[in-house]
Amino acid sequence: MQLLLIMLREPNCLVLDEPTNHLDIDSLEILEAELERFSGTVTFVSHDRYFLDRIADGIVEVSEGEVHRHEGGYSDWRRSAFQHAPADASARQQFS
């Protein structure tokens, strides 16, 4: 409800922390539709890989003191991370 009230004010930037937590399917679909219609910038943290695939157009990864930007959603990030992982099997396994 609070997000709806904020979006009615027509902000140009939203910062969301785990926006899909505790949502039922209907609420999730409404959230996704509204975020797709939103013309501003949305920055969010999410562990919901399906949400990331549907909504994200870029992922910022922070790992071992370095920051990397990847184009696309979760699946794109996963392919990119797998391609750049060290060649040994144990390191590649974390991305499988």
Lowest mean per-residue pLDDT among 5-14, 25-34, 66-75, 83-92? 83-92
**What is the reported pLDDT for 51?**
94
Domain residue ranges of the chain, discontinuous segments joined by +? 12-46, 56-96
Q: For residue 48, give Cα distances in angstroms to 52, 73, 81.
A: 6, 11, 17
Which of 44, 54, 48, 1 minimizes the C-alpha distance to 21? 48
Amino acid, single-letter form, for residue 82: F
32 three-class SS: helix
Residue 44 has pLDDT above 60, yes or no: yes
The percentage of the chain sitting over the pLDDT mark of 90, rounded to a whole number, equals 49
Compute the mean pLDDT over every residue in the chain, rounded to the nearest whole number. 84
